[in-house]
Chain A
């Protein structure tokens, strides 16, 4: 079942959509909740889509059975998104287009107070999908934490009024009621929250950022839980400072993370290069929204892939991770810290706005802490002769043992200039060669962090693959092995592509998906092996120039036979990916 909740900014759409989603998850359903939000504080037209299923759902649906519109004027523009039998819940005042199957409720009367209109809408929606409003109090208590019990009570009363109004007066136009939910230990979490939580689970200590969509929710989550998690969270004067402060903290031994979007990441490029040169472990969460420049602040794109891979002046190793959903985001944070520390270099978690702002239903058991990540920190610096520590000691792996400043009888010199093994400024050609080779030798090790991809025979099996705490499989190939076409994607396109391929298979068109979760260093051998000589590669990506297709060609010599692209700031729909792929496969 699909639902749409529409209204103006400032009308409490988040409360409606999140509460509904929460009720559904508690009732045993899997919910996928995505937001379409304008960059404004009041007014405009915002909406949320809820996809509800008895099995995991990872993408928006094509046609909703329920539309909750706080303003009837918003109904018309959603008619293309509605199923023929859809029910519209909206205010009694105002006119509706012809032929709409509507439940008209006097929102203001039922609410008693204007701020309670959203609670009325929650109650009305529950009645339409056939869920008991008992339990709402608990959810409202969580949402209105700190506003007092009276506020919770009045919201529950308003919701019950909305529920009753539909039950008593709206009979005969309800959509099929939900059935088959099996309650389990599941969480409903946004991609941004999962990223933050993954970082906390990985033992992050210092988080910095400058407010910018879509990274702000990550920093805000950390601020909210700073006390209990023991975090230092700093909103700096700009992104330059955010990145440098995190680097300073990492140099002094704190796991550090900086959060930004593409534009802010531009400002951080110098610091990214600094982390590479000084060999400082740093995790950067970079959210993609449509650019260039300010672009579209609250919308989605995947156009910073090549930028992230090449960002920063000079040559230094890095990893770029592109999680598909909340569960992968949680693990991406842990993988990022593990790789950053093991190889003493920056790791970028490149996520799209859609992934970060959407809410995903995740089995709780899959979100475990992997904090015991290997560290190159010298366990006993007493084993090193006093005052002889060399921060950039040349080793075969390129990774030097790490001693922190403040260690007794050792001094640590880190330098952004080319430097000696001791960390002092150097201009000798011989030292330069030694250090360039040392730093870039780490790339081979980082590459080994990527495991050999597997072709999954069944999409469902992915759950098992993802269940691993230690993330081994970085390239997931979904679909049947005999598929002659491989569809490559990264980031949040995974759910959409997976579903589109399922539909194509039903039409006899066989293609398998390869979702690149850990995209850099590019898994050259694995991808080249999967494509081989016979198979055809297609890409699905949200950018203009086909950046993943470019990588395939450049890294593996694989020329994609076609790319399905979208770059209007909106997430792909399953139908359009299906249509795009079908055209290329026929």
Chain B
């Protein structure tokens, strides 16, 4: 693969300026989009080497606003589609992208099993703790007490902690970034893409229209970089505590890394190569039919 000059590649990932972007001015999605373009271009990837898969929501529109291959499917169904793409064409760099409602509510069961399945792909979750596109309902990550259109007296359920779940499931790569720090986020995404197996990047994101609690300023005062604390991401117990840390201090960076083998590695080891040559089919059919005689 020829690695083009960085600036050229970064431009290659950008859509023309006249594309109508459906995000609110000041939306955290803009910062995330910059980080994604930065990360993939710095990895020397061209848009056609990628395949994004997204669901429904404002976050899930993100791949439409870069140049890439994209399957924009259904709400919550991002991860199974992404796994299918990767299994069918392991040569593609597969990224799934969506919001907290898409991934943790509608897609909760798929999230759980994607962590188990460990297909080599990266999952970018824009987590703004609120439903944006449907205009301000509670999300699985809304804090208890948060007033939304569907929790007028305040949310009564505890917030879902996806990173802790991922550590518990021994996910290969678990990290958190922040939309207003695209440089740091890009570095995290680069590591995630380079990781062989399922990598989760949870991205803290403000919603200027519907979340007036967890604003960009709110996050800025609380987040700290795990690298500054010399956090060892291979220490699972510590990672679990970091994954649960929330409130006055919120860690960002790589939380956990495990040496788990990916789905394709294990498949190759146990069952041999896949996606074989179609020219073999007549002989294969002959052999299989013989077993019924």
Contact = CB atoms under 8 A, between A and B. Distances in A.
B89 A405 contact: yes
A249 interface: yes
Contacts of A410: 48
Nearest to B68: A411
A189 B289 CA distance: 9
A230 B275 contact: yes
Interface in A151-184: none
A495 to B, nearest CB: 19
B293 A364 contact: yes
B183 interface: no
A227 B84 contact: no
Nearest to B77: A244
Given A406-B49, A406-B51, A248 B272 contact: no
A186 B51 CA distance: 46
A411 B47 contact: yes
Contacts of A415: 70, 72
A240 interface: yes
Interface string B228-270: 0000000000000000000000000000000000000001000
Given A227-B272, A405-B89, A271 B77 contact: yes
A197 B47 CA distance: 38
Contacts of B282: 369, 371
B20 to A, nearest CB: 9
Contact of B293 (A185, A205, A231, A244): A185
Given A412-B70, A413-B69, A230 B51 contact: no
Nearest to A142: B291
Interface stretch (B108-116, B203-211, B215-223): B108-116
Contacts of A425: 22, 61, 64, 72
Contacts of B80: 236, 240-242, 244-245, 248
B276 interface: yes
Nearest to B83: A245
Contact of B292 (A193, A208, A230, A249): A193
Given A201-B281, A232-B275, A251-B85, A189 B292 contact: yes
A226 to B, nearest CB: 6
A252 B272 CA distance: 21
B43 interface: no
B281 A240 contact: no
Interface stretch (A118-126, A416-424, A434-442, A571-579): A416-424
B274 to A, nearest CB: 5
Contacts of B274: 205, 226, 230-232
Interface string A222-247: 00011111111010111011101111
Contact of B71 (A241, A248, A368): A248
A187 B71 contact: no
B213 interface: no
B278 interface: yes
Interface string A371-396: 10000000000000001000000000
B69 A406 contact: yes
Interface residues of B, number: 55
Contact of B82 (A206, A234, A248): A248
Contact of A248 (B53, B112, B271, B275): B53
Given A246-B84, A369-B282, A254 B275 contact: yes
Contacts of B5: none
Chain A interface size range: 35 or more
A227 B273 CA distance: 7
A542 interface: no
A185 B70 CA distance: 49
A357 to B, nearest CB: 15
B153 interface: no
Interface string B34-69: 000000000000011101010010000100100111
Given A225-B288, A253-B88, A412-B70, A248 B293 contact: no
A364 B289 contact: yes
Contacts of B56: 416-417
Contacts of A311: none
A528 B87 CA distance: 46
A237 B70 contact: no
Contacts of B271: 226-227
A188 interface: yes
A274 B275 CA distance: 25
Contact of A408 (B48, B74, B289): B48
30 contacts: A188-B293, A200-B284, A200-B285, A203-B281, A205-B275, A227-B271, A230-B275, A240-B80, A241-B77, A244-B77, A244-B80, A245-B80, A245-B83, A245-B84, A247-B81, A248-B80, A248-B82, A248-B83, A248-B84, A249-B88, A252-B84, A254-B88, A254-B89, A369-B281, A369-B282, A408-B48, A411-B48, A411-B69, A412-B69, A424-B64
Given A246-B84, A253-B88, 15 more contacts: A25-B293, A200-B281, A227-B271, A230-B276, A241-B113, A245-B81, A248-B84, A271-B77, A278-B73, A369-B282, A406-B48, A409-B48, A411-B47, A415-B72, A417-B56
- Sorted nearest first, the 4 A-B pairs with minimum C-beta distance are A248-B84, A230-B276, A405-B69, A248-B81
Interface of B: 22, 47-49, 51, 53, 56, 61, 64, 67-74, 77, 79-89, 91-92, 109-110, 112-113, 267, 271-278, 280-282, 284-285, 287-289, 291-293
